[in-house]
Structure 1
Amino acid sequence: MCGRYVLKATLEELERKYGAVQEGTFTFSPKYNVAPSAQMPVVLSHEGRRVINLFRWGLVPFWADSINTGYSMINARCETLAKKKSFSKPFRSQRCVVPASGFYEWKNTSSGKIPHYITQKASSLINLAGLYETWKSDSGDVVNSYTIITTPANKPIQNLHDRMPAMLADSELRIWLNPENQSEDMLQDLLHPWPDNDITYHRVDTRVNNARNTGEGLIEPYQDLFS
């Protein structure tokens, strides 16, 4: 699962990383506690070029009655993408990359859920595999939204949770972002647990539990003041 994440990069850094251009007019600053329903940058292919847009986290299917459907669709399991009504169409041709610096996961313990911050060792930006959709209300409002795909957890993450976000190598982005690539087998081959030796994590303070708490200090290692 991926229920909170971090993006420390600026728009300019994202443009350089992905060879993409900003689409539309918007501003963005680093976020250290991204929660569902937040408007966040995603990278996708539009008219043959890579663009960066701000979409809402929590996919709202085009056929949904209400935007609130998105709260239950922040993640999509890789094993059922082609079978689920909500995800099969986006999986074929509406794929995106969700840039992240890292993500949070909570470990169940006898003392309660303990938050941890997880990131890659070899990269400052993680390419999370995502799907996007456009929804229109009866009154004509348009909402662009996305979901983050998950895979079974690799060995390090299994200490915290049984699922993890699907991460893409830079070399795989060309295939993933091309809407003309509609081979389910080819796309599924890209969705697998990230290598064990390129994952690191540490415990963080429970302040991250509250989405209203923000700031760089949230990702700092937890310090027990009484130890």
Structure 2
Amino acid sequence: MCGRTVVSGDSKTLARRCTYSNRNAESVQPKWRSISTNRREERESSDNDANENQQVRKTSEHFFEPSFNIGPQSKLPVLVSSLNLLTDLREDEKSSDDERCLTAMRWGLQREFMKDSSTKYSTFNCRAETLLTGPSQSQLFKQPLSRGFRCAVVVDGFFEWKTSAEDKKQKQPYFVHAPQSKEFEGKFETAEDKDEYRKMLVMAGIYNPVKTAEGETENTCTIITVESSHDLKWLHHRMPAILPDDGSIQKWLDAKSVSTNEALKLLSPFSGLQFYPVDSKVGNIRCNEPSNLERVVVSRKRKGEKESKLMLNWLKSAKTSSN
């Protein structure tokens, strides 16, 4: 599963990390857009005075701030097909550098009927295997998926907890992230001058727009999971559906050309992710700091070690009582 993520870069950094090759084989950074932002609105804003233009630019540069412990109901950076957001543009207005864009979505897919329901739904993850033919919980995602509301969640990585075989209450968190260059093997720097070398983890998702209490449109999303790969099964039996390269990202986002059934074939266990143990403080959602990514040394207790210590303490106590 995937219930905690990390995004160490701001909006500009994320756009740079998400650089892709467009249909003209040009390297392009996706633009940040809100739900209502489109190119026509941007052109109309150019007629406003300089102060208003400056405010528009300032707002667009602050779509996302770094966060080192993101949980459900928080905002996640998401890639979507620009055609899904720029719906009012004519074909001749859609340039090649608008094939995909970045936007912030609330983590936990919502449907309109859920607002008045007494049922509690867990929608931050959904299983790839049951998206089309699963039980009622899975049907929450079927309609948005069939409407082409596919997205790609972009993060540095996610936290996963390994439960101790000896003590079910003891859980060791690990940080799981994309394979890095040799310079970053075995570590995960957060220094700003290293951002350009960091590869992001791109996870397949589904989104759905809903109306807020204020009458505004908000996009909500879920992360799709699959069976864990052989190298992650020891940690957890589920993992996010990874889109490992630009080609798979493009196919997943292109709902107009790639059918739902074809897109779902892209989702399978991905081997080769890197991971290492981190401090248990990450279990507290309020702990949001870069040190969450620091590696820790895990002490490996031998089987029966806990029982041996309890017996030793009992013997010491008994000896003290006899004296």
- Using the size of structure 2 for normalisation, the TM-score is 0.64
Shift of residue 34 of structure 1?
Answer: 0.7
**Partner residue of 2:153 out of 90, 95, 98:** 98
SS of the counterpart of 2:13? helix
Structure 1 runs of 4+ off > 3 angstroms? 66-71
Q: Quote the RMSD (CA, aligned, Å).
A: 2.4
More helix by share: 2
Q: Cα distance 1:54–1:130, how it changes in 2: closer, same or farther (>3 A)? A: same
**Partner residue of 1:151 out of 212, 226, 234:** 226
Shift of residue 142 of structure 1?
Answer: 3.1
Q: Which moved more, 1:19-28 or 1:145-154?
A: 19-28
Cα distance between partner residues in 2 of 1:70 and 1:55: 20
SS of the counterpart of 1:132? strand
Q: Cα distance 1:4–1:12, how it changes in 2: closer, same or farther (>3 A)? A: same
Residue of structure 2 equivalent to 1:57: 107
Q: Cα distance 1:207–1:175, how it changes in 2: closer, same or farther (>3 A)? A: same
Residue of structure 1 equivalent to 2:263: 187
Cα distance between partner residues in 2 of 1:167 and 1:113: 25
Is 1:87 the equivalent of 2:141? yes
Q: Which moved more, 1:141-150 or 1:45-54?
A: 45-54
- The residue type paired with residue 77 of structure 1 is R
Shift of residue 65 of structure 1?
Answer: 2.4
SS of the counterpart of 1:115? strand
Shift of residue 7 of structure 1?
Answer: 1.2
Is 1:118 the equivalent of 2:154? no
Residue of structure 2 equivalent to 1:72: 122
Shift of residue 179 of structure 1?
Answer: 2.2
- The residue type paired with residue 113 of structure 2 is W
More strand by share: 1
Residues 166 and 193, structure 1, Cα contact 8 Å, conserved in 2: yes
**Structure 2 gap ranges (5+):** 20-28, 35-58, 84-93, 181-197, 302-323
Shift of residue 186 of structure 1?
Answer: 1.1
- Using the size of structure 1 for normalisation, the TM-score is 0.89
Cα distance between partner residues in 2 of 1:69 and 1:125: 35
Determine which structure has more spread, i.e. the larger CA radius of gyration.
2
SS of the counterpart of 2:144? helix
Shift of residue 143 of structure 1?
Answer: 2.7
For residues 80-123 of structure 1, give each alpha carbon's deviation from its aligned partner in whole angstroms, at most 9, with x where no partner exists.
11233211122230011100111110111115111111112146
Q: Cα distance 1:69–1:156, how it changes in 2: closer, same or farther (>3 A)? A: farther
**Partner residue of 2:32 out of 7, 18, 22:** 22
SS of the counterpart of 1:3? coil
Residues 251 and 258, structure 2, Cα contact 8 Å, conserved in 1: no
Residues 14 and 20, structure 1, Cα contact 8 Å, conserved in 2: no
Q: Cα distance 1:127–1:65, how it changes in 2: closer, same or farther (>3 A)? A: same
